[in-house]
Chain A
Amino acid sequence: MKQIPKSTWIKIRKKHLFPPLPFPKVKKGQERAALEIKDKQIYIDENFLSQISKKMQENDAIEALLDHAIAHYTFCPWDFATYLKLYAEAKKVSKNKDIAKRATDYFMDVVVDTYCVKEKESNIPSLYKYMEKGKIEQVMCALYQKIWGKDLNVSGFDELVRKLMRIPYINKKRWKEGIRRFTHILKPLLEEQIYQSASSPFGDHRSLFSKDSIDKGLMELALSSSSPQAFGELVNDFKEELQEKGFFGNEVGRGRGQESMANILYYMKLAQRYTLSLKKLPEKKSGSIYPHSHSPWEIEKPYQDIDIWTSFGKFLPGLTQVWNRREGEILYLEEKVPNCLIIIDSSGSMTDPRRNLSYAVLGAACACEAYLKHGSKVAVYNFSDAEVGGKYLLPFTQDRIAIYKSLCKYFGGGTYLRPTDIKFFECDDMDIFFITDMKISNFSDVVSYFNNIENRVTAVHIGESIHSQRFALSVSKKNNISLYHVQKREDIPKIVLGKVKEYLHQAF
């Protein structure tokens, strides 16, 4: 097996201003691609290296390949968020995920190679000159000839090149419009080549990213997406890669589960944007007494409380010390955040979280995130017409996926809440978040239930109705119930978070 000379790696690292990447390896590859990059580890294909070293210096080829690979981390795409942005633009033009992926790969290669040639005095042109080329690679080389001013032994494709060479590849600010134009120009050729060979000669770029980078990228995508559907569509294009990184469960790719999974990811990433500093709630006094401080021993005092260590083994009044005991006044008193029960209305009058961004779900998700972060458990009661089975009960759990799944469920039927269902969750230390539009058929049952519980309840209702006024009136004397009337649905997450903050910062 060939080895990469240490001096070459030192030289390349210096050239690229010491990127934090591990020492690259040579690997026997089964694929056509010359490079493979997985979680920052660069692998150079041994077969490719043997082939190319017949035509050029092996060290020069290694340098060129490393230049290319490192520039993907230091310049383009830099992170998964940028990659997704570029891909989204390519998809808008191509309307096909395979073409969009290929176009993104080629575009990023042009960007990094041009960057290396311009800024880093790279041997990449020699590599392109001597490597085997398919039709698209020939077009790329014809483009490089024009924009780098180097001879790469390619001719033809004038019309395509005339259009491609007008794109400002090095200008980061114009990558979005650049990739749109790039995809538009190359689309016929990419369509023609779609069933042939691997994508770029330097491999695809989907395995470049670490889990953290993917996490951040998804978060940014969730923020910039117009709807959960748009997010889901884009995320599903990368389901294999995301599955590999553990972002999806096993159910991906099977009918409705797919859509639902993308939704969960969408709300999860959006909710994780809301951060809250939390203070833990002290637990109740246990009733036991613990040693607290010392006092001098006197004759009448019991022997069993003598602390022999501080009394130096002596039984002398005034010198010997006894322990004073106090109830629960110990330094290691355990503190705990209460559990949280989310009661969420998913009747027909509420927004369907799969179609549009549901602020009710997002608000609930924010509350869940805050409680989960502090080791508490969350239960969900998702209801529509609970009487006829339109309900979902998730017992207290810390399983984030299960929680989001139950929040994202949408029944879209009538509205009937069974207080007996809530009793299923009842425990002493439990905060309740109740998000609804209050158009509940058995309204009086609900009101009487809430009037009889002592837990802290935050009820968020959307829109004005007689029901909501009645609810407000009937619970007005209860100090443990806070009622919020929401005009704008987008205020729900802020209200929920504000309330969570108040609960968890409250001194007890």
Chain B
Amino acid sequence: MKNPFFEFKDFRPKKREIPLDKIIASKEKVMDALIKAYDRLVEQEAKELVWLVSYHSVIRAYANAEKSIKDMQYGVEDIEEFLFEIENPSRLPYPIMGLCGLYISALCNHIKEKEIVLDLQNKNINLHLLGYRLPKGKRLIVYGDLGDFTGIGLNGGELLVEGNAGNWTGAGMRMGKIVVKKNVGRRTGEDMVGGEIYVEGKILGVGNVRYGRIYEKGGIVSP
């Protein structure tokens, strides 16, 4: 029997490719890797999907985050894209803000670029612990507000927050500089052993500062 569709044998829908296809494919590959690494971190650190901040848990989680992103190739845009994914529950079902902050800190600390700009404005997220151990020579600029423990253990880098920061900002920082354009919360600079914190708005409360300086609206408040 003759194939009734024989007449149409020559019709093959052409599969055209444009550069966008490649860009999206390579970006998705990196994003998948970043999300997988974050999921591993959640599995390791927050078994009951609860993660409590303590001196040891932060150190351990950061070490695990560093391990999970080892040898990974990514750029600033990928970090920014990851921030978008935090708002998207279909791809990132367990966005624990403390762990996310630590994970992004690890990504920022190990990226090639010296200056990283993250835009958190109009995003429904409140990241904690961002800027953890930011090393010397790195500059992290954040547009929008940050949560608690911003810039803790800062290690010589420069953190600029174009917004508010929460409690315990700059706690335990060793050296470097934190500039907050608006207000910060309580216990600012708790246990800091060096560096400077500049707050252009109000400081709700200063912690026990060992060494280092804290400025409020241009005036020194500690020591």
Contacts of B81 in A (CB 8 A): 166
B18 to A163, Cβ gap below 8 A? Answer: no
From known contacts A162-B77, A184-B122, infer whether A118 and B16 are also in contact, taking CB-CB under 8 Å: yes
B200 on the interface (CB 8 Å rule)? no
B202 on the interface (CB 8 Å rule)? no
Contacts of A260 in B (CB 8 A): none
Q: Who on chain A is nearest to B88 by CB? A: A177
A180 to B19, Cβ gap below 8 A? Answer: no
Out of A147, A171, A181, name the residue touching B18 (CB < 8 Å). A147
A95 to B77, Cβ gap below 8 A? Answer: no
Contacts of A148 in B (CB 8 A): 18-20
Interface residues on B, range: 10 to 19
B216 on the interface (CB 8 Å rule)? no
Distance A187 CA – B122 CA, assembled complex (angstroms): 11
Instruction: State how many angstroms separate the Cβ of A89 from the closest Cβ of chain B.
Output: 11
Contacts of A169 in B (CB 8 A): 20
Instruction: State how many angstroms separate the Cβ of B74 from the closest Cβ of chain A.
Output: 12
B110 on the interface (CB 8 Å rule)? no
Pick from B17, B27, B77, B122 the residue with the most CB of A within 10 Å.
Answer: B122
List residues of B (1-60) whose CB comes within 8 Å of A's CBs.
16-21, 23-24, 27
Distance A95 CA – B123 CA, assembled complex (angstroms): 12
A166 to B119, Cβ gap below 8 A? Answer: no
B18 to A166, Cβ gap below 8 A? Answer: no
A184 to B119, Cβ gap below 8 A? Answer: yes
Distance A354 CA – B16 CA, assembled complex (angstroms): 51
B211 on the interface (CB 8 Å rule)? no
Out of A95, A121, A147, name the residue touching B16 (CB < 8 Å). A121
Residue-wise interface mask of A (164-178) relative to B, using a CB-CB cutoff of 8 A (1 in contact, 0 not): 011011110000010
B16 to A93, Cβ gap below 8 A? Answer: no
Contacts of A165 in B (CB 8 A): 20, 23
Contacts of A32 in B (CB 8 A): none
A166 to B16, Cβ gap below 8 A? Answer: no
Distance A467 CA – B119 CA, assembled complex (angstroms): 58
Residue-wise interface mask of B (68-109) relative to A, using a CB-CB cutoff of 8 A (1 in contact, 0 not): 000000000100110010001000000000000000000000
Q: Who on chain A is nearest to B25 by CB? A: A168
Q: Who on chain A is nearest to B28 by CB? A: A168
A149 on the interface (CB 8 Å rule)? yes
Distance A95 CA – B124 CA, assembled complex (angstroms): 13
Contacts of B80 in A (CB 8 A): 163
Q: Who on chain B is nearest to A163 by CB? A: B77
Distance A177 CA – B124 CA, assembled complex (angstroms): 13
List residues of A (131-173) whose CB comes within 8 Å of B's CBs.
146-149, 162-163, 165-166, 168-171
Contacts of A146 in B (CB 8 A): 19-20, 23
Residue-wise interface mask of A (69-94) relative to B, using a CB-CB cutoff of 8 A (1 in contact, 0 not): 00000000000000000000000111
Contacts of A95 in B (CB 8 A): 122
A147 to B84, Cβ gap below 8 A? Answer: no
Out of A92, A168, A181, name the residue touching B84 (CB < 8 Å). A181
B84 to A177, Cβ gap below 8 A? Answer: yes
Distance A117 CA – B21 CA, assembled complex (angstroms): 12
B19 to A166, Cβ gap below 8 A? Answer: no
Q: Who on chain B is nearest to A183 by CB? A: B122
A166 to B122, Cβ gap below 8 A? Answer: no
B24 to A168, Cβ gap below 8 A? Answer: yes
Instruction: State how many angstroms separate the Cβ of A248 from the closest Cβ of chain B.
Output: 30
Residue-wise interface mask of A (288-328) relative to B, using a CB-CB cutoff of 8 A (1 in contact, 0 not): 00000000000000000000000000000000000000000
B18 to A149, Cβ gap below 8 A? Answer: yes
List residues of A (166-217) whose CB comes within 8 Å of B's CBs.
166, 168-171, 177, 180-181, 184, 187
A119 on the interface (CB 8 Å rule)? yes
A119 to B20, Cβ gap below 8 A? Answer: no
Distance A147 CA – B21 CA, assembled complex (angstroms): 8
Distance A380 CA – B18 CA, assembled complex (angstroms): 61
Distance A93 CA – B87 CA, assembled complex (angstroms): 12
Instruction: State how many angstroms separate the Cβ of A503 from the closest Cβ of chain B.
Output: 45
List residues of A (89-128) whose CB comes within 8 Å of B's CBs.
92-95, 114, 117-119, 121
Instruction: State how many angstroms separate the Cβ of A185 from the closest Cβ of chain B.
Output: 9
Distance A92 CA – B87 CA, assembled complex (angstroms): 13
Contacts of B24 in A (CB 8 A): 166, 168, 171
Distance A114 CA – B24 CA, assembled complex (angstroms): 13
A118 to B84, Cβ gap below 8 A? Answer: no
Instruction: State how many angstroms separate the Cβ of B91 from the closest Cβ of chain A.
Output: 9
Instruction: State how many angstroms separate the Cβ of B134 from the closest Cβ of chain A.
Output: 22
A166 to B23, Cβ gap below 8 A? Answer: yes
From known contacts A147-B23, A163-B77, A166-B77, infer whether A118 and B122 are also in contact, taking CB-CB under 8 Å: no
Contacts of A119 in B (CB 8 A): 16
Q: Who on chain B is nearest to A149 by CB? A: B19
Pick from B18, B84, B119 the residue with the most CB of A within 10 Å.
Answer: B18
Q: Who on chain B is nearest to A169 by CB? A: B20
Contacts of A114 in B (CB 8 A): 18, 20
Instruction: State how many angstroms separate the Cβ of A14 from the closest Cβ of chain B.
Output: 13
Contacts of B84 in A (CB 8 A): 177, 180-181
B119 to A170, Cβ gap below 8 A? Answer: no
Apart from A93-B122, A163-B77, what are 20 other A-B pairs with CB-CB below 8 Å?
A: A95-B122, A114-B18, A117-B18, A118-B16, A118-B17, A119-B16, A121-B16, A147-B18, A147-B20, A147-B23, A148-B19, A149-B18, A149-B19, A165-B23, A166-B24, A166-B77, A170-B20, A171-B24, A184-B121, A187-B122
List the 4 closest A-B pairs by CB distance, nearest first. Answer: A147-B20, A149-B19, A93-B122, A168-B24
Which A residues lie at the B interface, using CB under 8 A? 92-95, 114, 117-119, 121, 146-149, 162-163, 165-166, 168-171, 177, 180-181, 184, 187
Q: Could you list 26 A-B pairs, sorted by A, with CB under 8 Å? A: A94-B122, A95-B122, A114-B18, A114-B20, A117-B18, A118-B16, A118-B18, A118-B21, A121-B16, A146-B19, A146-B23, A147-B19, A148-B19, A148-B20, A162-B77, A165-B23, A166-B23, A166-B27, A168-B24, A169-B20, A171-B24, A177-B88, A180-B84, A181-B84, A184-B121, A184-B122
